[in-house]
Structure 1
Amino acid sequence: MKLDFSRLLSPEQQVRLRRTSATLERMHALPDRWLGRELAQLARRIRGSVPELASPALDTDGYTKHLLWDVVPELARRLGEPLEHNESKDIWLRTAEGEDLRRDVSNCLLNTSTIWLMRTVPQDRRDDLAVLMNEAANGSPVALALDRLVPPGQDSTDRLAASLREVSRARGHGAMPAWHPGLQLDPPATDAPSPRF
């Protein structure tokens, strides 16, 4: 019997979860150029709502600033979104390609302090934060942009692809290295008997 953990959430949390899921499905269907625009706008709105994030100077959590000022804008730029002043100034990131880009982006995304952001971002930006920092296995626009720029292979060793393979396998979808909305659904039923433990 499958447990429905959403019943443990407050009505407000359930609404936010549904809104986040709908936004991620919509973003998944966008052409690259518009995905880049939405991704950049999410980072810009979050940065603009928190005084500590107003400039790229590293006077607070380094991964968070790097994600919001360099990583997200760089992915958006590669998808076709023009940069704003002081965005994507990390020359290493600007020149990274292939598996190096996947490794750098995934490490930054997975090390960003979501707890710090949740405590700091004002209430009117929580939906933006929920979308931008959504768990990769449940749909992350950052991971989605990365997957479009450098599609992961079954042998990709970055942390995003590895965790996606593990989670999708556990959900019964096989070892998928990239997210798509179908991974949120139950896998098709098979005639194979259930394993006995």
Structure 2
Amino acid sequence: MKLDFSRLLSPEQQARLERKAATLERMHALPDRWLGRELAQLARRIRGSVPELASPALDTDGYTKHLLWDVVPELARRLGEPLEHNESKDIWLRTAEGEELRRDVANCLLNTSTIWLMRIVPEERRDDLAVLMNEAANGSPVALALDRLVPPGHDSTDRLAASLREVSRARGHEAMPAWHPGLQVDPPALEAASPRI
């Protein structure tokens, strides 16, 4: 019997998780241009809410600043969102393509300190942060944008694709290198095998 851990959460926590799941499902269905806009706006709102992140010149956590000032805006730009001043200035990231882009984005996303961000981002931006930094196996908009720009193959070796293949198998699905909302639900029960005679 599968345990329903959501019963242990407060109604407010359950509502917050439901809002996040609905947002991620909606983002998954957006056309590229509008996904780029939403992704950029998430990063901009988070940066604007924290003095330590307000400028790319300030000395703070390297991966976090790189994610919010370069990686997310660059993915958004490639999806069609115009950049603002000082966004996506990393020339290596701007010229990366294919598996190199997948590897660089995956490493940055997976090394960004979500715990540090949760401590410094004000309460009114926590939902934005929860969406932007959601784990790839549960629907990361950063990984979603990357998957649209450089679709992972079943042999992709970057950490996001490898992790998704492992998690989707563990959840009883076919091994998938990219997230989709169907991975959040149990797969249809397999029909009972015919008895051997």
- Classify the TM-score, shorter chain: over 0.9
- State, as a whole percentage, how many aligned pairs show the same letter: 92
CA contact (8 A) 2:147 2:178 kept: yes
User: Cα 1:19–1:196, aligned 2, differ >3 Å: closer, same or farther?
Assistant: farther
CA contact (8 A) 2:152 2:177 kept: yes
State the alpha-carbon separation in 1 of the partners of residues 151 and 111 from structure 2: 21
State the alpha-carbon separation in 1 of the partners of residues 168 and 106 from structure 2: 17
1:191, distance to aligned residue in structure 2 (A)? 2.1
1:192, distance to aligned residue in structure 2 (A)? 4.2
State the alpha-carbon separation in 1 of the partners of residues 12 and 34 from structure 2: 29
Q: Deviations over 1:38-67 (max 9, x none)?
A: 000000000000000001125111000000
User: Cα 1:171–1:40, aligned 2, differ >3 Å: closer, same or farther?
Assistant: same
1:7, distance to aligned residue in structure 2 (A)? 1.7
1:10, distance to aligned residue in structure 2 (A)? 2.3
State the alpha-carbon separation in 2 of the partners of residues 148 and 138 from structure 1: 17
How high is the TM-score relative to the length of structure 2? 0.96
User: Cα 1:195–1:168, aligned 2, differ >3 Å: closer, same or farther?
Assistant: farther
User: Cα 1:195–1:179, aligned 2, differ >3 Å: closer, same or farther?
Assistant: farther
State the alpha-carbon separation in 1 of the partners of residues 28 and 176 from structure 2: 16
State the alpha-carbon separation in 1 of the partners of residues 155 and 97 from structure 2: 16
State the alpha-carbon separation in 1 of the partners of residues 67 and 33 from structure 2: 19
How high is the TM-score relative to the length of structure 1? 0.96
User: Cα 1:195–1:153, aligned 2, differ >3 Å: closer, same or farther?
Assistant: farther
State the alpha-carbon separation in 2 of the partners of residues 11 and 69 from structure 1: 35
Structure 2: runs of 5 or more not aligned: none
Aligned to 1:105: 105
State the alpha-carbon separation in 2 of the partners of residues 196 and 188 from structure 1: 23
User: Cα 1:9–1:196, aligned 2, differ >3 Å: closer, same or farther?
Assistant: farther
State the alpha-carbon separation in 2 of the partners of residues 93 and 195 from structure 1: 56
User: Cα 1:196–1:167, aligned 2, differ >3 Å: closer, same or farther?
Assistant: farther
User: Cα 1:194–1:41, aligned 2, differ >3 Å: closer, same or farther?
Assistant: farther
Structure 1: runs of 5 or more not aligned: none
Moved more, 167-176 or 2-11: 2-11
CA contact (8 A) 2:52 2:58 kept: no
Aligned to 2:139: 139
4+ residue runs of structure 1 moved beyond 4 angstroms? 192-197
Q: Deviations over 1:156-192 (max 9, x none)?
A: 0000000000000000111100000000011011124
State the alpha-carbon separation in 2 of the partners of residues 8 and 194 from structure 1: 39
User: Cα 1:195–1:167, aligned 2, differ >3 Å: closer, same or farther?
Assistant: farther
SS at match of 1:57: coil
1:14, distance to aligned residue in structure 2 (A)? 1.1
1:11, distance to aligned residue in structure 2 (A)? 2.1
1:194, distance to aligned residue in structure 2 (A)? 13
Aligned to 1:51: 51
State the alpha-carbon separation in 2 of the partners of residues 63 and 42 from structure 1: 17
Aligned to 1:181: 181
Q: Cα RMSD (Å) of the superposition?
A: 2.5
